[in-house]
Amino acid sequence: MGGGAESEEEEEVREWEFNLVLEGHENEVKSLAFSPGGQYLATSSRDKSVWIWEDVSSGQGRDDEDEWETVAVLSEHDGDVKAVAWCPSNLPNARAGVGRQHNSSEVLASASYDDTVRVWREDADGEWVCVAVLEGHGGTVWGLQWEGKERQDGRFPRLMTFSADGSIRVWTLRVDEEEEEEGQQEGNPFRSGFGGVPSTMRRSLREEWDCTAVLPKVHTRDVYSVSWSADTGLVASTGSDGIVAVYAEESAPEDAAKSGVEGGAENGTSGPKSNWKVLGTVARAHGPYEVNHITWCKRFDPGAEHKGKEEMLVTTGDDGVVRPWQVRVS
């Protein structure tokens, strides 16, 4: 009996309770994302705006009520804002430079029906401003995802975007050549490309982002979802055509500067342009239905050889079905 009572108490503790309503958007909310540290919540809407909310709760006890206040309303997009994503802050190259000049510890990106992606940072006065507009897609940008795996060259995390034009693009923050040289000097406490604030940011808040890769063309229609593995660096995509595809990045070719990828840097360097290859595809992953979402996740099923370490893919479709996929890379 005693054990049963304890179990009931545990169940009660685990119950979710309704706490708070955040109001402000004039139309439906399309996306939301918590910042890595949990201090901020970003929301995007059909009203063409991005709202940033800050947790101002005291945090002194479990019974304290949640309290969030609006710290920014960003209205520079010309179309519905489909998705927002915060840059991961658990990577050394994403966290460096905190508190220096205009650089903030949190970086937000937003994707819109206006075919663009915008990058936002908090300036020295605590105002959230757009520091870059990424243009190149020929249709609605349905979503975006930051690189979660630390780069071997130590540079700032890249950003991957996917669109109604059927393409998947990789964007890289341009680094000033002077900053690049300084980072390579012996004894410099910071690694090249992410130590301190790039010179472009010291001079102004404007950042230059270059498209350094377009993944091989697989999809014939809109790409609705892309997932970039933080463990392996593999990328999976899916969309309106029902195809599931998996890609791997190859080392940059020697003639990368002539690879034909737009976005060359004249007064700075975005790092070597990258090549990607298709590892495999699955057609009609959900039969005749569109596939809306794909994500990497850890395997804990009985068939896993290393539970909690192996990765699998999970997709969802218009057929109302969730499908798990085993991925074998030879």
Residue pLDDT, tens place only, 293-313: 999 999 888 888 888 888 999
Residues 229-245, mean pLDDT to the nearest whole number: 97
pLDDT higher than threshold 60 for residue 202: no
pLDDT higher than threshold 50 for residue 98: no
pLDDT confidence band for 260 (50 / 70 / 90): very low
What is the number of alpha carbons within 13 Å of residue 199 lying toward its C-beta?
Answer: 13
Q: What is the overall mean pLDDT for the chain? A: 82
pLDDT higher than threshold 90 for residue 134: yes
Cα separation, 89 vs 95, whole angstroms: 6
Sign of the Cα pseudo-torsion (115, 45, 73, 75, in order): positive
Cα separation, 114 vs 124, whole angstroms: 29
Does residue 61 contact residue 107 with C-beta atoms inside 8 Å? no
Share of the chain above pLDDT 90, in %: 59
Cα separation, 74 vs 114, whole angstroms: 15
Share of the chain above pLDDT 70, in %: 74
Structural domain spans, the chain: 24-326
Q: What are phi and psi of 133, to 5 degrees?
A: -120, 120
Given this model, what pLDDT does residue 308 score? 84
CB atoms within 10 A of CB 17: 4
Does residue 312 contact residue 299 with C-beta atoms inside 8 Å? yes
77 contacts: CB under 8 Å, gap ≥ 6:
48, 49, 50, 110, 112, 114, 116, 118
Does domain 24-326 fall under CATH 2.130.10.10? My reply is yes
Question: Which of 145, 161, 280, 163 has its CA nearest to residue 212?
Answer: 161
Structure-token pair, residue 312: 């699998």
pTM over 0.85: no
Cα separation, 119 vs 50, whole angstroms: 11
Question: Which of 173, 329, 145 has its CA nearest to residue 248?
Answer: 329
90 contacts: CB under 8 Å, gap ≥ 6:
36
